Structure 1
Amino acid sequence: MIYAKNTIQYKCEATQKKQKKKHLSPKKHKETDFFIADIFNNITFQDDIASMEHPLFALKAGDTKTRKYEHNNFSITIAPHQNYGMATIHDKDIWIYCISKLMQAIYEEKEISRTIHFTIYDYLITTNRGVDGRYYEKAKDALDRLSSTYITTNIETDKIREARGFGLIDAWRIVEEKDGRMVRVSVTLPDWLYRSVTSNQVLTISPDYFRLRKPLDRRIYELARKHCGSQKEWKIGLELLLKKTGSSQKLKVFRWSIKSLVTTNELPDYNVAYDLENDIVIFTQKHKLVDINSKTVFF
């Protein structure tokens, strides 16, 4: 699809380069595994709008540098634990899983609270991870980073704006069997996030989000989903998009990252085009989005 004379989708480059690394990882589990796991039969995956808009999560592991971000009168300071490092966007999968479980309970008119209970196995299956011991330990490490990464912000949720600080999760607990296997998990969400979810400030996201290999791709998908939404297209300057991702890449490197996404066209739900002349990135829907009873459905 061509938007302007010098808008390039670089598809010809894909045929010239042999086996360029894909942006999507393969599906790790058979469809039958999802019937075993206690996952979502009635609703889809949900992400909260505020964290889709603002870069609360690191795009690389081991980041221990405090970051500040300001945009449109909103300010965020993210302070990681010096031992654990900042929570990453892959750690955010636990957030998304908890939000989706909470939305499922609301949909089914069950009693809800800020504390979400689930099994490690279900979480690993649902988010396209392996299920051996390594992944159990990685989930535990992610919980450590989420609870120890401290956010100070004046982000507005449910029409309330307040300057406050909080961990990305308030508390977590893992129940282990006698043989040391981690089985059940309890995660308590911060009041700020809980208020956002219960006021329906969430958006449906594609299950293929969990298959995106690169942290930057996940962040770009969040922004495309938030801003393009059910619109026909969303255009944004390359430099502003870089700022909104929270990436530390140089603009030149970021431009090649966008070109790679354009080439593979593997970003879930959205086509990506790059207007070379104006340095603008254009997102358009791959699927039709329809709002039904305040829920967004993908076709």
Structure 2
Amino acid sequence: MINAENIIQHECEATQKNKKKKHLSPKKHKQTDFFIADIFNNLTFQDDIASMEHPLFALKAGDIKTRKYEHNNFNITIAPNAEYGMATIHDKDIWIYCISKLMQAIYEEKEISRTVHFTIYDYLMTTNRGVSGQYYELAKTALERLAGTRITTNIETAKTREAHGFGLVDTWRVVEEKDGRMVRVSVTLPDWLYRSVTSNQVLTISPDYFRLRKPLDRRIYELARKHCGSQKEWKIGLELLLKKTGSSQKLKVFRWSIKSLVTTNELPDYNVTYDLENDIVIFTQKQKPTK
């Protein structure tokens, strides 16, 4: 089975000659023509707040272990698909893309539904992926994992809390050409997620999120964006941050991961500092460059 994280990891290792740049991958697609520029400029990337707060997605490929997470009276059980494993945070890019398309349609006052239609090429381009055949197949496998991963939770969305189970994607459909190449995709989102979108329970995220190589970095960015937001800073104990990421790392290994982020300063939008004496991680907004 083609594994998205393995391919991404191999690409990362091949481009890590510059040790100062090891968290962000290069931009795969430069906006050199009007078509590409139109894709990038017209879509503001957005993520739903509930999944930014709670670890619904696996940080390792091939995870087949049912996980349980409890925090502040919220309970989550995540059960993977037996064949494809648990949906990963890289698979979540499909969620983010669909949310962003829906929010764009709402802004343009267009009619929306839980089913989102898009071309696979646009998705690959905007999420900083390659556009060769293997990436089309990876997207298809990601849809399988999203549909097969089952969530049982009492997370609140749109001021409604209910205990129920759902797949991360209800249904999906791919239209292929005669040569087998995927062209158009239709994804039906779970009602839980759709309710978050229609009630505007979403936050914008940086396009550079898709350039973050490591799944843990993506998860840390989500938490920083959710909690720091427009505030001057957000402080959190290292052990609590580890729990909120959903990572299975040992605390000492996680501490090293944070120190690496501090050293490179490559987390989009936020500076990361680590208070060794108090074992606290501090996120502060980066100053936007002046033109």
Distance 2:37 2:91 in 1: 20
Residues 158-201 of structure 1 show CA distances to partners (whole Å, capped at 9, x for unaligned) of 11000000000100000000111100000000000000011000
Q: Which has the higher helix share?
A: 2
Residue 86 of structure 1: CA displacement? 0.2
- 2:64 maps to a residue whose letter is T
- Structure 1, unmatched stretches of 5+, are 1-16, 289-298
Residues 228-255 of structure 1 show CA distances to partners (whole Å, capped at 9, x for unaligned) of 0000000000000000000000000000
Q: 1:144 to 1:18 in 2, by over 3 A?
A: closer
Residue 38 of structure 1: CA displacement? 6.4
| 2:77 paired with 1:77 | yes
Distance 1:150 1:38 in 2: 35
Distance 1:195 1:144 in 2: 23
Residue 33 of structure 1: CA displacement? 5.5
Residues 96-131 of structure 1 show CA distances to partners (whole Å, capped at 9, x for unaligned) of 000000000000000000000000100000000000
Task: Work out the number of aligned pairs and report it.
Answer: 273
TM-score, with structure 2 as normaliser: 0.91
Distance 2:106 2:34 in 1: 21
Relative contact order higher in (CA < 8 Å, ≥ 6 apart)? 1
**Counterparts of 1:191-206 in structure 2 under 5 Å?**
191-206=191-206
**Counterparts of 1:91-240 in structure 2 under 5 Å?**
91-240=91-240
- Aligned-pair identity in percent equals 90
- Structure 2, unmatched stretches of 5+, are 1-16
- 2:26 maps to a residue whose letter is P
Distance 2:81 2:210 in 1: 25
Partner of 2:50: 50
Q: 1:163 to 1:37 in 2, by over 3 A?
A: farther
TM-score, with structure 1 as normaliser: 0.88
Distance 1:96 1:114 in 2: 14
Distance 1:21 1:43 in 2: 27
Task: Tell me the SS of whatever aligns to 1:39.
Answer: helix
Q: Please say which of residues 196-205 and 31-40 is displaced more in the overlay.
A: 31-40
Runs of 4+ off more than 6 Å: none
Alignment root-mean-square deviation, CA: 1.6
- 1:241 maps to a residue whose letter is L
